[in-house]
Structure 1
Amino acid sequence: MHTSTITVNVSLDQDKVPDQIEWKATDSTAAEFQKARAMMISFWDGADKSALRVDLWTKEMMVDEMADFFYQTMSAMADTYLRATQQQELSDDLKNFAKEFYHKFRKSQEQQNS
């Protein structure tokens, strides 16, 4: 059996706020650690029937980047859900929600900047 390992290093400041996030995967083509400004990791606990999550972002993460990150993550979740369940309508609903979320974010940014 092949084992793949993903390593995540999080450097914290004196207030325990993430200062730097970097990751590396054994099956990746990248030889060095890759930097990231945010991460979301979810695990499904089948025994408890609950999701366990780790959501972190660095001080460098900008609000517009966070909106992009959420939009892309929700869209990718819709793709994953479709592959796993073949539920096209529900996948489309999630993608449409992601688009609406992003549109509302952009609109709120325009209003703040006017």
Structure 2
Amino acid sequence: MSSIAKTPKPPYYAVIFTSLRTEVDEGYAEMAERMEALASEQPGFLGVESAREAVGITVSYWSDLESIKRWKADLDHREAQRLGREQWYSSFKTRISRVERDYGF
């Protein structure tokens, strides 16, 4: 992802996924691309920003908590979660936040 997500006027929600990778790389990039594409088709999805270095951070933006709940339960996303726990991540943390204010230029 090489752009800043275009989000609406707050309030909206951010799901912040922070991860540390394992040495296993097989299939990771393809799955990350697939999940971003699939998320973008979900009702309530607003955008995503991602940086993957020593610590990976992906922030996805959603219109409401129910949309986040549906995305977490999506079958393809659940498979990606399983593979992440079993192969790609040595640890991760997910945080869900309400965005009250944003600004930039």
For the superposition of Structure 1 and Structure 2, which TM-score range results when normalised by the shorter chain? 0.3 to 0.5
TM-score by length of 1: 0.31
Structure with greater helix percent = 1
TM-score by length of 2: 0.33
Q: Relative contact order, CA 8 A, sep 6+: which one is greater?
A: 2
State the structure with more CA Rg.
1
Structure with greater strand percent = 2
